[in-house]
């Protein structure tokens, strides 16, 4: 039995969700010009040295109306209305700014991994614009890691594959994100010039429970070692997970155990992880 009060409460909640969705669609463009987007940075740790190898840039929308809006809530809408293209260039510029500030402060160049949407990759001027932005900041292309999800490659599309080859030829690192989810295609992976494989959090989680999943990761590592491809394990939340991944031979680790995605100000001070 629901009371009138409960109905009124559900009603308000539904109204809130509908309003938020509408706001996400209609206010996205102005939010970009009002500087409501920002990046957080999550370190990727070398399992042997415990030093920061790179940071992954993760976008947030700090809305004056709805507070922090997470990327899963607005990236799909941004892809639909193509705002992802401008948002993507904003992300790249902010990432380059971070590399420069990190260098000033720590006297060390750190790589930044940024997430690239399929829509961005399919823009004909994408490679040229990325090149000119990186050179404006006087950085090397090899300072940038472009994370591309597998799903994109499957439903496309030779042009996407050509773009990846172009980026690699220009010296960018290219990472296959979320590997192991959905339809893993080893063929896709090994016929393209990827420099890194990111094993999805769910696979890492499973490997803590089944020997099959552990064997699968060990197998991937062997394949990657032969081709000089880096392997990252995502979603490392516990010391046990960290130890297990290190024992199988994963060199790069990312997850809440080391750091949650941090503000630029905080991330500038992260150089190594103290066990």
Task: List contacts with ligand C2E (CB under 6 A).
Answer: 42, 58-59, 70-72, 75, 91, 115, 117, 177-178, 201, 235-237, 254-256, 261
14 binds, among ligand C2E, Ca ion, none (CB under 5 to 8 A by kind): none
In 10 A of CB 104, how many CB atoms?
9
Q: Minimal CB distance to ligand C2E: which residue?
A: 255
DSSP H stretches of helix in 227-260 = 239-248
Residue 53 or 177: the one with the smaller Cβ distance to Ca ion is 177
Residue 185 or 237: the one with the smaller Cβ distance to ligand C2E is 237
CB of 39 to ligand C2E, least distance (A): 7
**Which H or E run includes 130?**
helix 126-136
Residue 139 or 180: the one with the smaller Cβ distance to ligand C2E is 180
CB of 223 to ligand C2E, least distance (A): 21
* Tokens 């490392």 found at: 236
- Tokens (6 digits) for 78: 């941004």
CB of 216 to ligand C2E, least distance (A): 19
CB of 1 to ligand C2E, least distance (A): 37
Give the residues lining the site for Ca ion (CB under 5 A).
Answer: 115, 147, 177-178
**Chain centroid, CA 122 distance in Å:** 18
CB of 110 to Ca ion, least distance (A): 17
Cβ contact 202:162 at 8 Å: no
Dist. CA 77–CA 24, nearest whole Å = 8
Residue 91 or 197: the one with the smaller Cβ distance to ligand C2E is 91
Dist. CA 127–CA 225, nearest whole Å = 28
Among candidate residues 32, 102, 96, 27, the one with its CA nearest the CA of residue 66: 27
Residue 42 or 163: the one with the smaller Cβ distance to Ca ion is 42
CB of 95 to ligand C2E, least distance (A): 9
Dist. CA 85–CA 120, nearest whole Å = 6
Dist. CA 179–CA 201, nearest whole Å = 9
Strand-pairing partners, residue 270, are none
267 binds, among Ca ion, ligand C2E, none (CB under 5 to 8 A by kind): none
Dist. CA 219–CA 94, nearest whole Å = 36
Dist. CA 163–CA 190, nearest whole Å = 16
143 binds, among ligand C2E, Ca ion, none (CB under 5 to 8 A by kind): none
Cβ contact 126:92 at 8 Å: no
Residue 149 or 251: the one with the smaller Cβ distance to ligand C2E is 149
CB of 79 to ligand C2E, least distance (A): 8
Residue 197 or 221: the one with the smaller Cβ distance to Ca ion is 197
91 binds, among Ca ion, ligand C2E, none (CB under 5 to 8 A by kind): ligand C2E
């Amino acid at each position: 039995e629901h009371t009138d009060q409960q109905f009124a409460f559900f009603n308000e909640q539904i109204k809130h969700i509908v309003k938020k969705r509408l706001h996400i669609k209609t206010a996205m463009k102005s939010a970009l010009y009002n500087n409501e987007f920002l990046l957080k940075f999550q370190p990727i740790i070398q399992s042997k040295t415990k030093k920061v190898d790179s940071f992954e840039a993760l976008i947030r929308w700090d809305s004056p109306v709805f507070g922090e809006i997470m990327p899963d809530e607005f990236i799909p809408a941004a892809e639909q209305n193509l705002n992802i293209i401008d948002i993507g260039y904003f992300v790249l510029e902010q990432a380059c700014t971070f590399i420069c500030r990190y260098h000033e402060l720590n006297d060390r160049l750190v790589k930044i991994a940024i997430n690239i949407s399929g829509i961005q990759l399919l823009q004909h001027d994408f490679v040229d614009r990325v090149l000119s932005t990186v050179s404006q900041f006087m950085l090397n292309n090899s300072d940038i890691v472009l994370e591309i999800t597998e799903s994109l490659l499957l439903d496309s599309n030779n042009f996407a594959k050509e773009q990846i080859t172009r980026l690699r030829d220009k010296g960018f690192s290219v990472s296959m994100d979320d590997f192991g989810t959905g339809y893993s295609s080893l063929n896709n992976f090994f016929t393209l010039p990827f420099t890194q494989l990111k094993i999805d959090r769910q696979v890492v989680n499973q490997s803590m429970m089944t020997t099959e999943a552990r064997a699968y990761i060990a197998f991937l590592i062997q394949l990657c070692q032969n081709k000089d491809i880096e392997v990252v394990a995502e979603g490392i939340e516990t010391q046990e997970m960290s130890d297990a991944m290190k024992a199988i031979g994963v060199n790069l680790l990312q997850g809440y155990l080391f750091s949650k995605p941090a503000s630029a100000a905080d991330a500038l001070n992260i150089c190594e992880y103290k066990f």
